[in-house]
Amino acid sequence: MVALRDFFDGMHEGNVITDLVRGLLQRSGYSVYLNGYEERFSEIKEYLNDKALRNSRIVRMIRSSPDLVVYDKRKRDVMLAEVKMRRAPKETSVLIYSDLMQCYKEFWKDAILIIAIPCGQVLYAQRFRELETKGEYNADIDFEKFEDLFTEVNGADLLAYREKAIQAMKK
C-alpha cells in the first residue's frame, strides 16, 4: 500500500514539473501539447505493462513517448520533449536508468530531454542523440542550459519558473 502511494506521489510530482515546463514554454510563445502515453493511451496503458507485451518494440516505443510536442512559431519547427524531475543525490548529479536512456535514444533520438533538479540552473535540456548511455549524468557538463535550446524563453520568466520548480520539488 505504501509503495503504491509513493508511486502516485512521484507521478504527481512529475506531472507538476511537466506542467511548469509547459507553462513556461507557452508563456514564451511556444505552442505546447501533451503527448505522453499516459494521455494518449489511458484506456489501454494497464495492458502495456503485461509481461507478454511490455518488452515488445512497439510497446517500448509507446511507453517512452516524449511528454510534450513543442511548436516554435518563429523558427517554424516542431520539437518533442521528455520532462524528468530528479532530486540529485549530489549537487548536479542526474540518475537515469541505462535501459530507459537506450529506449529514448532508439526511438526518440531527436527529442529533447528536459531535467529539473533542485540546484544549479534547475532546468537543463539536451537532445537524446547528444547524450551517452551511462546511467549517471552531470547536469552542468552533459546538458545545456534550458534557454540555450528553447531560445524564446524570457530570462525573467525563467527565473520565476525556476523558483516554482524548486518549491514543487521541496514538497
What is the per-residue pLDDT across 112-126, written as a single tens digit (0 to 9) for each?
999 999 988 999 999
Paired strand residues for 27: none
User: What are the distances in angstroms from CA 138 to CA 22, 88, 135, 146?
Assistant: 24, 10, 10, 14
State residue 14's pLDDT score. Answer: 55
- In the chain, the domains with their CATH numbers are 2-33+67-170 (3.40.1350.10)
User: Per the structure block, which three cell numbers stand in for 48?
Assistant: 502495456
Rg (CA), the chain: 16
User: Per the structure block, which three cell numbers stand in for 27?
Assistant: 508563456
Give the 3-state secondary structure of residue 20: helix
CB of 131 closer than 8 Å to CB of 101: yes
88 pLDDT band (50/70/90 cuts)?
Answer: low
State residue 22's pLDDT score. Answer: 97
The model carries a pTM of 0.87
